[in-house]
């Protein structure tokens, strides 16, 4: 008995499958191509920049005035602005995000959690330019009532709003980590007579430590890369300061400021934004890698 | 002696119970800060912006006189940019998700791609703007056009679509695949006839969340150098004569909603800031509506899903 021909090995069918697999692979490979393109492009433009400006000057000069006649190329003022605004944001987001996460994971009744989670998710979806508007026209005037000497642009109000903006990211990731702690650990703790608070602090939090740490670190990386809030509410003047009450520019705000002007392609001013971008990418990359390692570790615990 | 001990123990229990209560109040308070801030933001925008919202606001071009300025070119620009973004990111993201979930064998290349997707999600959005500026605007010569902006945002939301696709496909039980293979289906037949239709709602949720994020993104579009004062519309995609469609609009200069809002916020005159509030209100309602649809879809899906 011979096999009917239509059930036999079909060369065309096999080829079609192969073609589709190759196509899908190419689509998946696009993400790698994007990364390569980002790094190649930033490095290529930055190399031209660093032929003009030595690395030593870049990291030690205390002024950043690339568009002036008397040009200085020191990244420090931009870094100080970034560090101060991110620190303010984290001072808000880390405590509030952690408390919210503990509350939602260990204390909140089912109904509250079901209401709060989508709401927090919605908060994360509000465009950042809207938060910038809020910082400049609502939070700054409010803060000026408390601190009359606060200028119209300040790292403080930008950082505060950025912090509230980051709360949903920190809390949802920290909560996921706490939920991943197995129930029997909690039950063991309750059986020993511990209260919910004791269980949360002494059993659940240590158990979810690396996941919570990863949430913090991704919060940091988000604060460092945030653009519109600082560009709108912190002013765009580079200013080497560690005082949150002053206006200053962050790395991202500088890139925005340059892009708003009309710089010719290939000029040194044009290349500065790529050097600034490379610095920013390296900063966030470090945080992302730490966060990734921490998350990998907590996944393997249970 | 026994009574004294009992009293001490009861005091300890009472103290710890008090801590429990205190933390519960602090927790509700922390949650309320996030909620109240959003309420304040929304209320502030509503009070300032609502009186400004009228039919004219949607059908007028931006203008030097704040009273007659509108967001016509902004919302048309946003719509067109989103078309490009969706057209690029949706097929690419779904394809990549299918490959990683169904085709990829466990090897070093797969691992590199997976780590890459995670890392891309953490890259600040302004870096994508720099990439688009260097690659699309100058290298490929697309200029400061709708095409450049749409592609930049597509790269930005690609990880969101990939992750959503993977999660939706992973949730489908293995028996579905085995059933299809047992009937002689090829891999692609299994994917296109079974896995894709069953995961469609999950993928759609991810696409909507991604697009909602892209609508509000400002930084990458500023970086590619989009003009902020655009008092004309891009050429129409529909033509009266053959072949009836035209892609000239892809290369047209444009502005989008968040750029228009940023432009108005950064002006000192108060009248423009009222315009900014109105534009922000439209923008927030748009993104919130999209996110709400996505959350609702996911909720329905979880409820109805019984394999």
DSSP B247-304: -GGGGS----HHHHHHHHHTSS-HHHHHHHHHHHHHHHHHHHHHHHHHHHHHHHHHHH
Produce one character per residue of B77-111: b if its CB has 16 or more CB atoms within 10 Å, e if not.
Answer: bbebbbebbbebbbebbbbbbbbbbbbbeeeeebe
Q: What are A151-189's pLDDT values in tens digits? A: 888 899 999 999 999 999 899 889 988 988 889 999 999
CATH homologous superfamily of domain B54-304? MetI-like (1.10.3720.10)
Q: Supply φ then ψ for residue B266, to 5 degrees.
A: -80, 5
Residue A230 lies in a domain: yes
> Among residues 186-215 of chain A, which lie with CB inside 8 Å of chain B?
195-198, 200
Inter-chain residue contact A17 with B188, CB threshold 8 Å: yes
What residues have CB less than 8 Å from B175, skipping those under 6 apart? Answer: B307
**Residue pLDDT, tens place only, B276-294:** 888 899 999 989 899 888 8
Would you call B247 an interface residue with chain A, using a CB distance cutoff of 8 Å? no
CATH number, residue A265: 1.10.3720.10
A108: chain B residues, CB-CB within 8 Å: 27
Q: Structure tokens of A17? A: 């499958």
For residues B27 and A196, give the distance between their C-alpha atoms in angstroms, rounded to a whole number: 13
Residue A154 lies in a domain: yes
For the segment A71-82, what is each residue's pLDDT rounded down to a tens digit?
788 888 888 999
Which of B9, B12, B21, B37 would you mutate first to test chain A, the one with the most A CBs within 10 A?
B37
* Choice between A58 and B158, residue whose per-residue pLDDT is larger: B158
Q: Report yes or no on A283 lying in a domain.
A: yes
A:211-270 residues touching chain B, CB 8 A cutoff: 218, 221, 224-228, 231-232, 252, 255-256, 259-260, 262, 265
Contact B28 A21 (CB under 8 A): no
Domain that holds residue A102: 76-299
**Quick check: is A212 in a domain?**
yes
DSSP annotation string for A43-55? HHHHHHHHHHS-H
Query: What is the least distance, in Å, from the CA of B98 to any CA of chain A?
Result: 7
**At a CB cut-off of 8 Å and minimum separation 6, what does A190 contact?**
A199
Cβ–Cβ gap B284/A221 under 8 Å: no
Q: Does residue A17 lie within any of the structural domains?
A: no
Which of A25, A40, A119, A127 is the best substitution to test chain B (most B C-beta atoms within 10 A)? A127
pLDDT digits (tens, 9 = 90+) for B231-269: 777 777 666 666 666 667 777 788 888 888 888 888 878
Tally of domains in chain A: 1
Q: What is the mean pLDDT of residues B148-177?
A: 92
Q: Do B131 and A228 touch (CB under 8 A)?
A: no
């Amino acid at each position: 008995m011979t096999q009917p021909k239509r059930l036999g090995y079909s060369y065309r069918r096999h080829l079609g499958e192969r073609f589709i697999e190759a196509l899908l692979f190419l689509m998946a490979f696009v993400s790698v191509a994007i990364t390569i393109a980002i790094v190649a492009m930033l490095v290529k433009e930055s190399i031209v920049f660093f032929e003009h400006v030595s690395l030593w000057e870049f990291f030690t000069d205390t002024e950043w005035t690339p568009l002036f006649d008397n040009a200085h190329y020191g990244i420090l003022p931009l870094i100080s602005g970034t560090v101060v605004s991110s620190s303010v944001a984290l001072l808000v987001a880390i405590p509030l995000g952690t408390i919210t996460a503990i509350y939602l994971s260990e204390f909140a009744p089912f109904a509250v959690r079901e209401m709060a989670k989508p709401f927090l998710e919605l908060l994360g979806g509000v465009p950042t330019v809207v938060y910038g508007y809020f910082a400049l026209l609502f939070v700054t005037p409010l803060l000026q009532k408390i601190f009359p000497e606060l200028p119209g642009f300040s790292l403080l109000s930008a950082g505060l709003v950025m912090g509230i903006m980051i709360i949903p990211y920190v809390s949802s990731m920290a909560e996921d980590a706490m939920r991943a702690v197995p129930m029997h650990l909690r039950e063991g703790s309750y059986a020993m007579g511990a209260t919910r608070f004791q269980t949360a602090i002494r059993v659940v939090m240590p158990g979810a430590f690396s996941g919570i740490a990863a949430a913090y670190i991704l919060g940091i990386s988000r604060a460092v890369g945030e653009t519109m809030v600082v560009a709108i509410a912190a002013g765009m003047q580079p200013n080497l300061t560690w005082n949150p009450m002053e206006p200053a520019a962050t790395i991202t705000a500088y890139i925005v400021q340059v892009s708003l002007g009309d710089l010719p392609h290939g000029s040194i001013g044009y290349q500065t934004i790529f050097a600034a971008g490379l610095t920013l990418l390296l900063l966030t990359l470090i945080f992302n890698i730490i966060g990734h390692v921490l998350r990998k570790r907590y996944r393997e615990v249970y | 002696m026994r009574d004294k001990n009992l009293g001490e123990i009861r005091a300890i229990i009472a103290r710890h119970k008090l801590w429990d209560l205190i933390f519960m109040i602090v927790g509700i308070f922390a949650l309320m800060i996030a909620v109240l801030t959003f309420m304040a933001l929304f209320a502030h925008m509503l009070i300032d912006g609502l009186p400004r919202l009228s039919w004219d606001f949607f059908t007028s071009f931006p203008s030097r006189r704040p009273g007659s300025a509108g967001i016509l070119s902004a919302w048309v620009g946003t719509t067109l940019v989103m078309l490009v973004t969706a057209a690029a990111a949706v097929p690419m993201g779904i394809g990549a998700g299918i490959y990683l979930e169904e085709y990829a064998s466990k090897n070093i290349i797969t691992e590199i791609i997976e780590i890459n997707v995670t890392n891309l999600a953490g890259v600040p959005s302004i870096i994508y703007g720099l990439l688009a500026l260097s690659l699309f605007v100058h290298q490929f010569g697309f200029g400061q056009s709708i095409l450049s902006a749409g592609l930049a945002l597509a790269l930005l939301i690609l990880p969101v679509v990939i992750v959503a696709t993977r999660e939706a496909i992973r949730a489908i039980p293995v028996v579905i695949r085995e059933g299809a293979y047992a009937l002689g289906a090829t891999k692609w037949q299994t994917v296109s006839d079974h896995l894709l239709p069953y995961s469609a709602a999950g993928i759609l949720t991810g696409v909507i969340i991604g697009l909602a994020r892209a609508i509000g993104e400002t930084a990458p579009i500023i970086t590619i150098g989009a003009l902020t004062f655009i008092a004309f519309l891009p050429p129409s995609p529909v033509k009266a004569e053959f072949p009836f469609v035209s892609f000239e609009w892809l290369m047209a200069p444009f502005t989008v909603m968040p750029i228009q809002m940023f432009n108005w916020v950064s002006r000192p005159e108060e009248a423009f800031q009222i315009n900014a509030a109105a534009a922000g209100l439209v923008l927030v309602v748009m993104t919130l509506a999209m996110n709400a649809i996505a959350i609702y879809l996911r909720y329905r899906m979880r409820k109805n899903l019984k394999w």
